[in-house]
Chains A and B, each alone.
Chain A
Amino acid sequence: MLEESGISTVVVCSEIFREKMLAMNLPRILFTHTPLGRPLGAPGNKATQTDILVSALELLESAQRGGSVVDSLASYFRQVD
């Protein structure tokens, strides 16, 4: 509906829903290695949340065709230096 109206969209979604989301033929999807309810990462993990959003925005801008799927490499947990 959104895409039909001319609004470009990107879905950020936990990979636990991969099969269902792929069946929907969505324009752009960023899958994240995260559990249910936390598709942007763990509470307090600002770095991962930011990385995921930046990747989603880059996909929104760069995708050339519908069905563009990217798997985020961001880690759910905070990286310990």
Chain B
Amino acid sequence: MNQVIEWQTSVYSKPGRYLYADVPFSPLQKPLSQSRLALLTSSGHFVAGDDPNPLGVENMTQTEAELRISEFLRAVPQLSEVPIDTPEDSLRVRHGGYDISGAVKDPNVNFPITRLREIQSNGMIGDLFPIAFSFVGACSQLQLTKRSGPAWVKKFKSLGIEGMILVPV
């Protein structure tokens, strides 16, 4: 596994094309045990029966998502809402940009709603927001940063979310 990780690191360490400004820092205002926290991932999870139907396609397979990755990269990202108590066998995942076999076997590898529920039940988190959020990270980055992202942030703020665990994939 170390060799796999080393090889993947070499692939993803090529210089990027983007420049980033300094990002603001907001300290958590209350202890975790009193804070409302939510999960957001770019893993491509959704609830069975609530398929976002990307690119206007119903019931798109993983294989098709992989073949059409270039179209996904130009598409507007779609945010799926997953109740935090969704049974694992009711979760679905589809993302043309990574090997989803681990996530199919165990969603907690990158969409850890079960683990977060357990952590909350032990008292570490005060208020785990009842919805987890996920989208396919292989999307138009321009749309994400200029339109969808700001709209999502407004939504999260309106829901009283104070902290977020972000899992990019």
Residues of A within 8 A of B (CB): 1-21, 23-27, 33-44, 46, 49-50, 53-54, 56-57, 60-61, 63-66, 76-77
A-B contact pairs, 25 of them (CB 8 A): A1-B145, A6-B26, A7-B26, A7-B157, A7-B162, A8-B164, A13-B167, A15-B5, A17-B12, A17-B168, A23-B16, A35-B1, A36-B99, A37-B100, A37-B110, A38-B109, A44-B106, A49-B109, A49-B115, A50-B118, A53-B165, A57-B119, A61-B32, A66-B23, A76-B1
B116 contacts chain A at the CB level, 8 A cutoff? yes
B156 with A7: CB separation less than 8 A: yes
Number of interface residues, chain B, beta carbon within 8 A: 57
Closest Cβ of chain A to B100, distance in Å, is 7
B110 with A10: CB separation less than 8 A: no
Closest Cβ of chain A to B160, distance in Å, is 10
B168 with A11: CB separation less than 8 A: yes
- The docked-state distance in angstroms from the alpha carbon of A5 to that of B155 is 11
Q: Which residue from chain A places its CB closest to the CB of B145 in the assembled complex?
A: A1
Closest Cβ of chain A to B129, distance in Å, is 11
- The docked-state distance in angstroms from the alpha carbon of A9 to that of B124 is 16
